Amino acid sequence: MESFELTDGVVVLRAPGPADVDRIDALCQDSAIQEWTTVPSPYTRGDAASFVTGYVADGWARGTTLNWAVRDAADDTLLGMVGLGMEGTGSAELGYWLAPEARGRGVMSRAVDLVLDAAFGRLDLVRVFWRAFVGNGPSRAVAERAGFRVEGELRLGGVQRGVRRDEWVGSLLATDDRPRRVGGRAGAAASGNGR
């Protein structure tokens, strides 16, 4: 699959490239990113390079994982990552992380709305699910603002660097009302091409 760009004029989502390796390496040193995600810890520049040139590039080529760098539309600064892990049969998992200086400004909510528009429009998915380790309130808030129904807690359902952790799970269906949409009115089911 060819990678594609998404934007709402405030954020731009574009597949990360080799020029982003140093910024990804720097951001993944953040203690919150290491606490709440499955990135390697300690995180190295080699991990960032492997992520960009291997995982991201291969995922887009195969259509199995679609990752976008979340960028400030004004100056193209990389602020975080958002992605869909495709499961087949119309379903994908949503994941994301954000730079400390971008938190609390609605940046990730905008990025997630763009990705959901693409998921239910251009990609023709019927379901997107989300999960986060229990205690990651900011991730849960983003998911709930996007319309995800938090369906419960899986005891020791997640694995982070070889250790089992409790996790929250939620889903959003293409037929669900969404509080916000980039390409249309609030409350409308997603459609279109994600722009």
Residue 182 maps to a domain: no
Residue 191 maps to a domain: no
Residue 115 maps to a domain: yes
For the segment 20-46, the average pLDDT, to the nearest whole number, is 97
Amino acid (one-letter) located at 181: R
More confident residue, 88 or 157: 157
Q: Does the pLDDT of residue 182 top 80, yes or no?
A: no
Q: 159: domain range?
A: 6-173
C-alpha span between 60 and 67 (Å, rounded) = 8
C-alpha span between 124 and 84 (Å, rounded) = 13
Q: Does the pLDDT of residue 194 top 50, yes or no?
A: no
What would the two tokens of residue 6 be? 């998404």
Number of folded domains that form the chain = 1
C-alpha span between 71 and 192 (Å, rounded) = 22
Confidence of residue 180 (pLDDT cuts 50, 70, 90): confident
C-alpha span between 149 and 128 (Å, rounded) = 11
C-alpha span between 21 and 100 (Å, rounded) = 18
Q: For residue 19, how many C-alpha atoms fall within 13 Å in the half-sphere facing its CB?
A: 6
pLDDT tens digits, one per residue of 162-174: 999 999 999 999 9
Residue 194 maps to a domain: no
Q: Does the pLDDT of residue 158 top 60, yes or no?
A: yes
CATH of residue 103: 3.40.630.30
Residue 141 maps to a domain: yes
Residue 164 maps to a domain: yes
Mean pLDDT for all residues in the chain: 93
What was the pLDDT predicted at 113?
97
Of 9, 35, 14, 6, residue with least CA distance to 116: 6
Residue 29 maps to a domain: yes
Q: What percent of the chain has pLDDT over 70?
A: 92
